[in-house]
Chains A and B, each alone.
Chain A
Amino acid sequence: GAGVSQSPRYKVAKRGQDVALRCDPISGHVSLFWYQQALGQGPEFLTYFQNEAQLDKSGLPSDRFFAERPEGSVSTLKIQRTQQEDSAVYLCASSLGTDRNTIYFGEGSWLTVV
């Protein structure tokens, strides 16, 4: 596709529910990132993939958060047993190579936990 695509755009989950957020990066992009952005804050790093390898997951806030990219393209961020503090926008980004250059962001998945 022309850009990074994320789905769903909006998700309301009841506390305790599991959610899965999908990211379709730009075709051919090797690097994929997930960020969490709370209202009024800058994005905070969650995890980084290079192809299918998850090279950095230091930003995942708890073991309820899990991300995968099994075939090196589409990625899924899963949040188990959601809590109210998980309410945020989850942003996915991709870049062509591993040379830490221009990063392209999707429009985000807005998660509200009630």
Chain B
Amino acid sequence: KQEVTQIPAALSVPEGENLVLNCSFTDSAIYNLQWFRQDPGKGLTSLLLIQSSQREQTSGRLNASLDKSSGRSTLYIAASQPGDSATYLCAATNQAGTALIFGKGTTLSVSS
């Protein structure tokens, strides 16, 4: 059974700092891996999607990498801003493509 783990559970940084969020998964037979952002009381917003054949994806200040062989993905946020404060969730899509398996998330707080 696929299990997704995110470390750390919470992170506080001052504005302007670069940071890395970690995600690991137990079953490398995934279709893709996605990173989402969730603001309090809101749904999830897709940030980046990495296909299983890809190694990384970039969008603005965000860069996500995928290493299937080691079962790891990282989300790199450059020059963090207070508006980046949210919970970041990593999810692996099963090979059938019918389900996302989520980690518990990393709650990020960026202080000005």
Contacts and interface: CB of A to CB of B under 8 A. Distances in A.
Interface of A: 4, 33, 35, 40-45, 48, 55-56, 58-59, 91, 93, 98-108
B102 A43 contact: yes
Interface stretch (B12-20, B38-46, B68-76, B77-85): B38-46
Contact of B89 (A33, A40, A42, A93): A42
B24 interface: no
Interface residue range, chain B: 20 to 34
Contact of B44 (A41, A43, A44): A43
A43 B91 CA distance: 9
6 contacts: A42-B4, A42-B89, A42-B104, A105-B36, A105-B44, A107-B43
B99 A4 contact: no
A42 B42 contact: no
